[in-house]
Amino acid sequence: MKTEDFDFDLPKDLIAQFPAKERTSSRLLYLNNLQEWQDTWFVDLPSYLKPGDAMVFNDTQVLKARLFGKKESGGQVEVMIERILDHHHVLASIRASHAPKVNSKLILKDVIPVTVVDRGGEFYRLYFDDTRSVDDWLNCYGQLPLPPYITRESTEFDESRYQTVYARNPGAVAAPTAGLHFDAGIMTRLRNLGVSIAYLTLHVGAGTYQPVRVNQIEDHVMHSEMFHIPQATVDVIQQAKENGGRILAVGTTSLRALEACAMQHDGRLVAGHGDTNMFITPGYRFRIVERLLTNFHLPRSTLLMLVAAFAGIDVIKRSYQHAIDQRYQFFSYGDAMLIERNHEI
């Protein structure tokens, strides 16, 4: 398929720059399995579930992954941590007028000594040359990395609202944004309804923002992300399926982790850690997930291709045009969409 098939025009004023006043006060577009949509509100989400259903959430926590500093020559640099490798090593992208050389030194925030160890593709391996751990440095001096389409600096407000209320495993550089709509109250309502709640961890990388730049989508090389699925989550999903419950992935990251695990184990979910560069495009056969809660995604993005695989490309195009016409808010701080899987594609 062509990348241009996933393009659309989005008015800039529909790109949310701030979240809704309350987490659950955003809008919700429901797309049923008859390819019909309904305009509603996120606070009404429990009415679309039933006892015995299972919801799977991504509990990753966003790192304060952006650091600014200088090269030995005095040139300015911006470092974005992609992955923490150990207490002192990271993978990171670096923005600078001239790329730093291997074995050169950086000073971040005037106090953090860093050595450029090597470079592989778009990422550098950096060594934080101090007794303090990378985590300590980031907590003290790092800046929350808001998405590039949010055209303002991050604030203390974002440090809470650009995290889910259930985030507990640090490692992401982007939030699993479908989860930003949940607060403690709606989680309690779901449990009281008899919906099973389960968690996994997938550390979202900066590649989630990148458009597909090749003409044919099959030529795109997907970024890799780490995930962990606990045994308790496998048990919840298996029990729900055995009892006729439906599996709802909260966000594309939860879906990607579940489907990647199933693909790696002949259709079965197996607890444990993994790494995936799985690229879900139209034609993919879903093995685990039957319903998807997600935000509205960027044109030409891998996430838009994933939801098109889930619901059908023509259905998603019509749904997105409806959302634009009805002035839904798009992207990370925007509104949400609940999608039933299209079994006819």
Q: Is there a domain that residue 150 lies in?
A: no
CATH number of the CATH domain containing 108: 2.40.10
120 CB neighbour count, 10 Å cutoff? 8
Q: Is there a domain that residue 149 lies in?
A: no
Q: Is there a domain that residue 345 lies in?
A: no
DSSP string, 292-313: EEEE---TTBHHHHHHHHHH-H
Which of 141, 176, 208 terminates a domain? The answer is 141
Burial class from Cβ neighbours inside 10 Å (0-12, 13-18, 19+) for residue 146 reads: buried
Identity at 331, one-letter amino acid code: F
Q: Is there a domain that residue 250 lies in?
A: yes
Strand ranges in 63-204 using DSSP code E only, listed in sequence order: 66-71, 76-84, 89-96, 105-108, 112-120, 123-128, 169-172, 196-202
Q: Is there a domain that residue 153 lies in?
A: no
Q: Is there a domain that residue 146 lies in?
A: no
Q: Is there a domain that residue 277 lies in?
A: yes
- Residues 171, 252, single domain; the answer is yes
- Residues 316, 169, single domain; the answer is yes
Q: How many domains does the chain have?
A: 2
Question: What's residue 173's pLDDT?
Answer: 94
- Residues 21, 7, single domain; the answer is yes
Q: Which residues pair with 83 in a beta bridge?
A: 91
Q: Is there a domain that residue 283 lies in?
A: yes
CB-hemisphere CA count at 13 Å for 7? 11
- Residues 70, 58, single domain; the answer is no
- Residues 10, 23, single domain; the answer is yes
Question: What's residue 343's pLDDT?
Answer: 80
Question: What's residue 49's pLDDT?
Answer: 98
Mean pLDDT per 10-residue segment, the chain (345 residues): 96 97 98 91 98 98 97 95 95 95 96 96 93 95 94 94 97 96 98 98 85 93 93 98 98 98 96 96 97 97 96 96 98 98 82
Residue range(s) defining the domain that contains residue 172: 3-62+158-340
Q: Report the phi/psi class of residue 327: left, alpha or beta, with left for phi > 0 and alpha for psi in -120 to 50.
A: left
- Residues 90, 179, single domain; the answer is no
Which of 141, 176, 192 terminates a domain? The answer is 141
Tokens linked to 33: 């399995």
Tokens linked to 335: 């509104």
- Residues 251, 321, single domain; the answer is yes
- Residues 243, 318, single domain; the answer is yes
Which residues contact residue 23 at a Cβ distance below 8 angstroms, ignoring those fewer than 6 apart? 161, 165, 180, 181, 182, 183
- Residues 55, 74, single domain; the answer is no
CA 259 to chain centre: 15
CA 281 to chain centre: 17
Cα(81)–Cα(205) distance, rounded to whole angstroms?
A: 9
The closest alpha carbon to 284, from 301, 299, 262, belongs to 262
Question: What's residue 121's pLDDT?
Answer: 86
Q: Give backbone dihedrals phi and psi of 315, rounded to 5 degrees, phi first.
A: -65, -45
CATH number of the CATH domain containing 231: 3.40.1780.10
- Residues 110, 199, single domain; the answer is no
Question: What's residue 207's pLDDT?
Answer: 75
- Residues 229, 82, single domain; the answer is no
